[in-house]
Amino acid sequence: MKSRAALRWFWFLVVIALAGVHLALVAAAVSQAQTSAGPPRIEWIDVHVHVIGGRAPRQDYDGAVNAALAVMDEAGITKMLIMPPPQVHTQPSPYDYESFVKPLKRQAKRFAFLGGGGSLNVILHAVGDGSQVTDRLRRRFEDQAMEILRQGARGFGEIAAHHLSHLSGHPYESIAADHPLLLLLADIAARNDAVIDFHFDLVAEDTKAPEWLAVPPNPAVLRANLASFERLLGHSRKARVVWAHAGSDMLGYWTTALSRRFLERHTSLYMSLRVGPGRAPQNHPLTKANEIKRDWLSLLQDFPDRFVIGGDQFIASPLIQGGGPGMIFAQRAANIRERTSTFLAALPVDLARKIGRENAVRLYKLEN
Ligand SMILES: [Zn+2]
């Protein structure tokens, strides 16, 4: 009797065990089906993002930062560097990092920031000609820069020496890239191990403004500015300059050959990739079939530590209305996220990891 009862127990346990194995196999199959449904998701860090929260008293940067968090979770973006766009004194009430720093600090694992786009950049372009830079102005500029770093910024951005106007209300900005205040900023960045996010629409030779640029505010002739940029980069070997918007060049001069030459010559130069539509398709990294172009792949492979992703996404609070340039750019952000994922998925895995995340962590001293 005893042994028959034991046998019954034995078979009972066997059935339970088999059912368990079966369930585990089904669960594994389901999860595999889920992961194989889309392309493998590659996580990335966006080092060049603008948030739009409006101006006081109708200001909502909490909402803009929450909107950023929502798209990050959806798109696999682990962190963002937020910065004010490069503004000038002729625009209504420029804003800087103070507007958005509080909500960012509440999410310190997901965000870091740069400052100066609404203060240092305004001073730079208000002065214009470098001959007007007095000692007093240099001190004011330096005090402002140091205050930005004291508040926790990883550096200065978005700073522009040459910025084309693409829409009404979008400023044309132009000063010499080796302006004395920019050289000073490079010294400050070098001394404090900070980064400069630099917008610079490159002009290799004097060029008549193409017909898609409105004249004014853009000038009828765009003046060559390459040499002044090299002087800025050569000024301090320690100042880390991140040249923004690689891969979506507007004028056609920022070729892979030029990038190679610059990266070889200037060892503290980095480039942030904006894999969006630009005006000079020959300089995009992706083919129409979404493969990495050969010259781009060899550039990225030869300088794997010098590229990061800077999507130039504009993300607005849902409470903000209106049709200014920022809101128009905000409509393009989803497309930029999608193209960036496509770009990273097309890269060899180790390169995607570096460009997508690891370089940004190192460059901006982020927590992993
Ligand atoms: Zn820019």
Does residue 27 carry a pLDDT above 80? no
Residue 197 domain flag: yes
| 8 and 85 fall within a common domain | no
The CATH number that applies at residue 95 is 3.20.20.140
Measure 107 CA to ligand 1 centroid, in angstroms: 24
Measure 130 CA to ligand 1 centroid, in angstroms: 22
Residue percentage of the chain with pLDDT more than 70: 89
pTM given for the model? 0.88
| 296 and 352 fall within a common domain | yes
Measure 257 CA to ligand 1 centroid, in angstroms: 22
Asked whether the beta carbons of 256 and 273 are under 8 A apart, the reply is no
| 59 and 25 fall within a common domain | no
Residue 368 domain flag: no
Measure 114 CA to ligand 1 centroid, in angstroms: 13
pLDDT band at 16 (very low <50, low <70, confident <90, very high): low
| 197 and 295 fall within a common domain | yes
Does residue 106 carry a pLDDT above 70? yes
| 21 and 100 fall within a common domain | no
Measure 152 CA to ligand 1 centroid, in angstroms: 22
Q: Minimum mean pLDDT among 8-17, 117-126, 167-176, 215-224: which range?
A: 8-17
Q: How many domains does the chain have?
A: 2
Nearest to 77, CA basis, from 298, 348, 334: 334
Residue 71 domain flag: yes
pLDDT band at 26 (very low <50, low <70, confident <90, very high): very low
Measure 251 CA to ligand 1 centroid, in angstroms: 14
- Rounded Cα distance, 357 and 367, in Å: 11
Measure 7 CA to ligand 1 centroid, in angstroms: 76
| 30 and 100 fall within a common domain | no
Residue 3 domain flag: yes
Measure 173 CA to ligand 1 centroid, in angstroms: 11
| 162 and 251 fall within a common domain | yes
Residue 48 domain flag: yes
| 29 and 91 fall within a common domain | no
Residue 339 domain flag: yes
- Residue 251: what are its φ and ψ, rounded to 5°? -100, -15
pLDDT, tens only, 287-314: 999 999 999 999 999 999 999 999 999 9
| 262 and 327 fall within a common domain | yes
pLDDT at 232: 97
Domain that holds residue 17: 1-38
Asked whether the beta carbons of 268 and 239 are under 8 A apart, the reply is yes
| 20 and 161 fall within a common domain | no
| 84 and 233 fall within a common domain | yes
| 182 and 213 fall within a common domain | yes
